[in-house]
Amino acid sequence: MSNSSPYSSEQFVNDEADNEISRLEEQARVRWPQEVLVLRNAGLKAGNSIVDIGCGPGIITEYLAKEVDESGLVVGIEKNEMLYSLATTRTATYNQVQIRNYDACDLIEVNDNSFDFAYVRFVLQHLPDPNKLLIEAHRILKPGGKLIVMDVDDSLFHITPYHQELAQFLSEVSKGQDNYGGDRYIGHKIPCMMFDAGFTQIHTSVYTFTSKNISPQEFLDITTKFKIDLLDPALKDWGNDVLNEIYRKSQDGAFFGTAGVYCVIGEKEM
Ligand SMILES: C[S@@+](CC[C@H](N)C(=O)[O-])C[C@H]1O[C@@H](n2cnc3c(N)ncnc32)[C@H](O)[C@@H]1O
């Protein structure tokens, strides 16, 4: 298996990209009503500047543009060239948005003390060294600026009725992401990592969503289907069998799934 992230430009192509972008759109649609309240409670308002680090195809960047309005500024940072170009196209009509093709772990072209807020959404899980990104986020925030990180922790993923092979499936997926240099259990580690990067006033919350908020199929599409791509190629047939069985069980009225996202907010000292 390759050591590069599934988001590296040489791997993330064609159908795989279309599927992942649809998943991100669906995930953003489901999660945004809750997330925007978190951002507003943290103080985000019209006229603020926010950097969307690892902005992907710019779905959230566009939502943020509406929040800060034309008097604000959103800078989306994306390493993958194809996603950078999609984000540029998606946000082209917003004067308050700029998209940059940078590696978020090395933001040498971004000045110190530049932004009121930084948002890092489902990015740290993909990085071999997430500390580097957090140190850069701290550097480019203004004193008093806030970093908001959202990310997964697969220990918060559960389905009922119990499925015997789910634990092994999640374990193999986790090994796959480890091979890419990522971590599917990063959520609970983020508060400590932010403290080490220099942030203060760290607040941690866990947000859950369930197969009752959305349909069981949508729940599995957002949380589970893409995990097949993280498995060792030799395990893909087995993984597909496990997944098909879980989808089949999800049509039973007794099915219930829950997934959780860590949200950690920290401040750069004045
Ligand atoms: C799961 S996607 C999330 C995209 C977006 N934040 C969202 O929530 O819709 C992770 C994104 O992080 C980007 N990424 C990963 N490593 C990066 C790095 N070192 N610098 C910048 N972007 C990176 C990937 O290319 C991808 O677009």
- Cα–Cα distance measured from residue 235 to residue 231, given in angstroms and rounded to the nearest whole number: 6
pLDDT for the residue numbered 16: 73
Bridge partners, residue 100, by sequence: 77
Q: Are 264 and 149 in contact (CB under 8 A)?
A: yes
Task: Output the pLDDT for position 1.
Answer: 38
Other beta carbons within 10 angstroms of residue 205's beta carbon come to 11
186-227, pLDDT tens digit by residue? 999 999 999 999 999 999 999 999 999 899 999 999 999 999
Helix (H) or strand (E) holding 73: strand 73-77
Q: Residues 6 or more apart from 3 whose CB is under 8 A from it? A: 179, 180, 181
| 2 — pLDDT class (breaks 50, 70, 90) | very low
pLDDT of residue 33: 94
**Ligand 1 atom at minimal distance to the Cα of residue 119:** 6
Q: How do 158-160 and 256-267 pair as beta strands? A: antiparallel
Confidence (pLDDT) at 19? 87
Among the listed residues 78, 79, 72, 80, the one whose alpha carbon sits nearest the alpha carbon of residue 115:
72
The answer to whether the CB of 104 is under 6 A from ligand 1 is: yes
User: What is d(CA 60, CA 76) in angstroms, rounded to the nearest whole number?
Assistant: 9
pLDDT tens sequence across 22-65: 999 999 999 999 999 999 999 999 999 999 999 999 999 999 99
Atom from ligand 1 closest to the CA of residue 56:
27
Assess whether the C-beta atom of 60 lies below 6 angstroms from ligand 1: yes
Which residue's CA is minimally distant from atom 4 of ligand 1?
56
CA gap 103, 118 in Å, rounded = 15
Give the rounded percent of residues in the chain with a pLDDT score beyond 90.
91
Over residues 118-171, the pLDDT tens digits come to 999 999 999 999 999 999 999 999 999 999 999 999 999 999 998 999 999 999
pLDDT of residue 3: 47
The CATH number fitting domain 14-152+183-209+261-267, selected from 3.40.718.10, 1.10.3720.10, 3.40.50.150, 3.40.50.2300? 3.40.50.150
**Amino acid in position 108:** I
Give the pLDDT score at 6: 60
pLDDT tens figures, 74-102: 999 999 999 999 999 999 999 999 999 99
